[in-house]
Amino acid sequence: MAYIEPAPIKDRENPLESMMSRFNIAAEKLGLEEQVYNVLKNPAKQVIVSLPITMDNGKIEVFEGIRVIHSNILGPAKGGIRFAPDVHLDEVRALAAWMTWKCAVVDIPYGGGKGGVRCNPREMSAGEIERLMRAYTLAMIDVFGPDKDIPAPDMGTGPREMAWLMDEYSKSHGMTVNAVVTGKPLVLGGSLGRTEATGRGVMVSALAAMEKLKINPYQATCAVQGFGNVGSWAAILLEERGLKVVAISDISGAYHNSNGINIQEAIAYRDNNKGTLEGYKGAEKLSTPGELLELDVDVLVPAAVEDVITTANADKIKAKLIVEGANGPTSAKADQILVDKGVMSVPDILANAGGVTVSYFEWVQNRLGYKWTAERVNRRSDRIMKDAFQNVYKAAQQYDVPLRIAAYIVAIDKVAKTYKFRGGF
């Protein structure tokens, strides 16, 4: 099976270091006071639990569960739960901080959190996963709460796991508490518009950036890496706005058609083909999947995995604009190469924040006991994404920095100011 060539070792960054290197640059530009820097640098709470689970074979296995609340200065912590074999504390700490900045950049009243359980859900039965999710919820019963910490799905978890979390939390509290978690199935209080929300935010921020770069969407080409939730929604919505999507890719490889790929058709193909583009005939398969990143297109949307744009390929990128659908697709060391080449990058904490924005709307609807139409959800999230882009763009000009650093500046400034007004805890 094809795969994206992993980043050379020298570029492989500990996610915490990668986040901190950007944080440090932004903090310095902002002139952040040392004492506030020290507050924001450290997570507010880290909880590690052991979860003994009876497996289907009758044996007991013990799993490690982590929850990190990086900050609850702006409001309750918000962030997903990852079920993966390589979950470790440093990664969860970095992802939790990322959530703080992401929520602050789009100006929603949440802090940042993240959770993880070290396990391999692909090798577990549904029953084992359910027992693990319920045990994790019980172990975190005093951590979670609609006003304290609101989890969501991440890698290896989805609406099914969120339903179990909500059920377990509700049973412990003797009442239905659907606002304790987002990303739930619609029937349990999930929000319309959540499925497409991240891809939609990618589209909105891509169009806002194209306007600044004076790129006409109707004459622009685009390549999208990753054809899952974020990539396929971004592709279809960008196509709807006039862009010609000339390349798409997934774990099976990258597919290129200079006349444009019919995205609707590619999605239908994937859905009837066990979720992959393997064997897709609407485009030519590129000899290596990494070539997609180096195509001569106007807009590049990495929407698969982290660390795909590195010092090994950054100077070969021809796109004028990169819109980061994935979390952390560009290594910190590659940032400067792109800046020197004049490539504009809309950073992950801004470009893919449409998802957390609609998660926030899910929580708002749950608390109101009310359901919004998809039209209302989309209109409000589009407005939030547009405003956030303009704010970050303004900060980039004011501080004379790239959009990534500007996004961190906007976020850190907001959290730091709030912290000061509140007078700390």
Residues that bind ligand NAD (CB under 6 A): 3-4, 198, 226-231, 249-251, 289, 303-305, 325-327, 352, 355
Cα–Cα distance between 295 and 307 in angstroms, integer?
A: 18
State the amino acid at position 19 in one-letter form: M
- For the CB of residue 276, give the shortest distance to ligand NAD in the complex, in Å: 7
Give whichever of 27 and 286 is closer to ligand NAD, judged by the CB atom: 286
Give whichever of 221 and 232 is closer to ligand NAD, judged by the CB atom: 232
- For the CB of residue 30, give the shortest distance to ligand NAD in the complex, in Å: 25
Give whichever of 217 and 325 is closer to ligand NAD, judged by the CB atom: 325
- For the CB of residue 199, give the shortest distance to ligand NAD in the complex, in Å: 8
Radius of gyration of the chain (CA): 21
Could you give the maximum distance between any two Cα atoms of the chain, in Å? 63
- For the CB of residue 198, give the shortest distance to ligand NAD in the complex, in Å: 4
Cα–Cα distance between 314 and 339 in angstroms, integer?
A: 10
> Closest CB to ligand NAD belongs to which residue?
228
Give whichever of 29 and 249 is closer to ligand NAD, judged by the CB atom: 249
Which residue is associated with the tokens 């796109």? 319
Tokens of 35: 């004492």
Q: Is 114 assigned a catalytic role? A: yes
Annotated active-site residue in 29, 78, 114, 244: 114
Q: Left if phi > 0, otherwise alpha if psi is -120 to 50, otherwise beta: which for 297? A: beta
- Strands, DSSP E only, in 214-256? 221-225, 244-250, 253-256
Give whichever of 66 and 323 is closer to ligand NAD, judged by the CB atom: 323
Query: Do the bridges between strand 284-285 and strand 253-256 make them parallel or antiparallel, or are there none, so unpaired?
Result: antiparallel
Tokens of 158: 């989805």
- For the CB of residue 385, give the shortest distance to ligand NAD in the complex, in Å: 13
Torsion of CA 374, 380, 381, 382, to 10 degrees: 100
* Angle 192-208-106 from CA coordinates, rounded to 5°: 55
Q: Which residues are catalytic?
A: 114
